[in-house]
A and B are shown apart, each in its own frame.
Chain A
Amino acid sequence: DVKVTQSSRYLVKRTGEKVFLECVQDMDHENMFWYRQDPGLGLRLIYFSYDVKMKEKGDIPEGYSVSREKKERFSLILESASTNQTSMYLCASSLTGDQPQHFGDGTRLSIL
């Protein structure tokens, strides 16, 4: 079974802090994704990556950046956290375009 592990289940940070969310997958998947989930809005894609050191913007990249230095690890960075970034963040990975995405359990991030 594919395992996607997010480093924290719950995280509380302060406005203006730089925040790192880490995601690791163990199945040698090419593609990795970061989403945020908000009530009534479903999942919205922040950034994704097709390969090491490669990244592309999703639908809502403002205020975020990403890093993929190794194939198995995809990091989401909030450069200067703001209260409107309080949300559930989900990481996912997939092998190819016709294969389903596998999700981690999510990180519930609160910015105070």
Chain B
Amino acid sequence: AQSVTQLDSQVPVFEEAPVELRCNYSSSVSVYLFWYVQYPNQGLQLLLKYLSGSTLVKGINGFEAEFNKSQTSFHLRKPSVHISDTAEYFCAVNGLTGGGNKLTFGTGTQLKVEL
């Protein structure tokens, strides 16, 4: 079985400040990792993904994440946030078992950027 923990349900931050959204996962097999963003009244959009190779992954809108296998983490970071980054962010893991590409999602982190 696999699971994802997003410890912070809400993260308030001022505009132009850096932000880190935490994600820890649990899996007994190798994994693919994803971050998605959801703006109000919309579906989820892919921010970035880790499949293999470099542990530092860059995504859209200036976001990046680092895969840390020993700590089973995949934290999302942005050095300077903008008001438009206000949204809900979901971390997801795909354990590479015979079950195919079933994603397990975390419960989400609401990022609120304030002036």
Q: Contact residues of A with B, CB < 8 Å?
A: 4, 31, 33, 35, 40-45, 48, 50, 58, 90, 92, 94, 96-106
Contacts and interface: CB of A to CB of B under 8 A. Distances in A.
A45 B103 contact: yes
Contacts of A33: 103
Contacts of B96: 97
A42 B43 contact: no
Interface residues of B, number: 24
B100 A106 contact: no
A107 to B, nearest CB: 10
Interface stretch (B11-19, B75-83, B105-113): B105-113
Given A40-B9, A98-B51, A103 B102 contact: no
Nearest to B96: A97
A50 B43 CA distance: 21
B43 A98 contact: no
A100 B49 contact: yes
